[in-house]
Structure 1
Amino acid sequence: MTGYAAFLRGIMPSNPNMRNEKLRAVFEGLGYEQVTTLLSSGNVTFQARETASATLESRIQKALNTELGIPGGTLIRTRDQLHDLVASDPFPGLTHCRETYLTVTFIKGAHLDLAAVPKDESPSPTIRVVAYDEAAGAILSIIDNTDPNTPAFMSWVEKQYGKDNVTTRTFLTVQKALKKLDS
């Protein structure tokens, strides 16, 4: 069995069909084991027989849409991908706080145009892209949360890669997902 984390787009806990217990039920109905949810924003960890991430993404998204009416955006990462990302210490010496968010933007697909990733030259002055983790398919960035213009970066990312092909989590959430997979 392999450990996976699913990062779902557009989950709103106020929607009864998007609550954690319903999300877990969909994953369990697909035959996945040790299904847990993290926070109330579409983070699910589970165990499955080793399968390609793209196959898992498609299967899970179809079930979420059919059973709960959740339209799109399932991104899967393996426990090993998350472990290597966290172990690389991509934000050395920085602390996630109310004013400064350390973020991980996962992008669907293994082959990205690395030239399009704006390292040190962000499309928004409130965002600084610090790295691209190829193995995890993730743009790593620091958000100045004191400025209300931070959505400009997400708009840029969605335009570059497609709305259903990206999702952003804080580095703390990624660390918590890894901890769930390791427990």
Structure 2
Amino acid sequence: MSTRYAALLRGIAPSNPNMTNDKLRGVFEGLGFDSVASVLASGNIVFSGRRSDVPTLERRIQRALHRELGIPGGTIVREHAELRALLDSDPFPGLTHGRGTYLTATFLKDGAQPPDRLPERSDPRARVVGFDDAARVFLAVIDNSDPGRTPDFMAWLEKTYGKDITTRTWLTVQRIVTKMES
């Protein structure tokens, strides 16, 4: 039985000729996945394949990306059902993603330890809404009115989880799920 997945790739620069959507899709197709499609130009690939252990799938994809395209960044995979449930939970009730206020989802690599507690609000530009255990994702509202400054929350995530994370806007997560369902 086939399962629908999303691969969230870290460190993709669409201006790099080895990181274009067609080359990324080609790696996934070369691995034997079906219905491969990209969402935006920032390293979001949806695909179908036999049900698999997610950490094994992440390692397999990352090795192929590194071997074929020289992409050293991380690969985080989620099943459609996990992302659909996350959207259905409506973790940002009444809030709207906008130019100055970003609704964000920071995904942890499968197998990463969830937090014992959420970080304290040490930066007024970041408000952690919660952590969704099933999707292994931090949900936060980020004041992005000063794009030159990274909120302390984002620095805490990097310090705590290293490169085993990747952040997407809530709009991107919605687009990924829509593409998975089309």
Q: Which category describes the TM-score, using the shorter chain as reference length?
A: over 0.9
- For the aligned residue pairs, the C-alpha RMSD in angstroms reads 1.3
**Which protein is richer in helix relative to its size?**
1
Equivalence for 2:177: 178
SS of 2:13's equivalent? coil
Quote how far apart the aligned CAs of 1:170 are: 0.4
Quote how far apart the aligned CAs of 1:159 are: 1.0
Moved over 3 A (4+): none
Quote how far apart the aligned CAs of 1:122 are: 3.1
Alignment of 1:26 with 2:19, yes or no, is: no
Quote how far apart the aligned CAs of 1:155 are: 2.4
Distance 1:151 1:13 in 2: 25
Equivalence for 1:132: 131
Contact 1:123 1:156 in 2 (8 A): no
- More moved, 82-91 vs 124-133: 124-133
Contact 2:99 2:144 in 1 (8 A): yes
Contact 1:4 1:78 in 2 (8 A): yes
TM, length-normalised to structure 1:
0.94
In structure 2, relative to structure 1, the CA distance for the partners of 1:113 and 1:180 (3 Å cut) is closer
Alignment of 1:70 with 2:96, yes or no, is: no
Equivalence for 1:167: 166
Alignment of 1:35-54 (within 5 A): 35-54=36-55
Quote how far apart the aligned CAs of 1:116 are: 4.3
Quote how far apart the aligned CAs of 1:73 are: 0.6
Quote how far apart the aligned CAs of 1:129 are: 0.4
Quote how far apart the aligned CAs of 1:162 are: 1.5
Alignment of 1:86 with 2:81, yes or no, is: no
Any stretches of 5+ residues in structure 2 without a counterpart? none
TM, length-normalised to structure 2:
0.95
Across the two proteins, how many residue pairs are aligned to each other?
180
Distance 1:77 1:113 in 2: 16
Distance 2:3 2:94 in 1: 32
Any stretches of 5+ residues in structure 1 without a counterpart? none
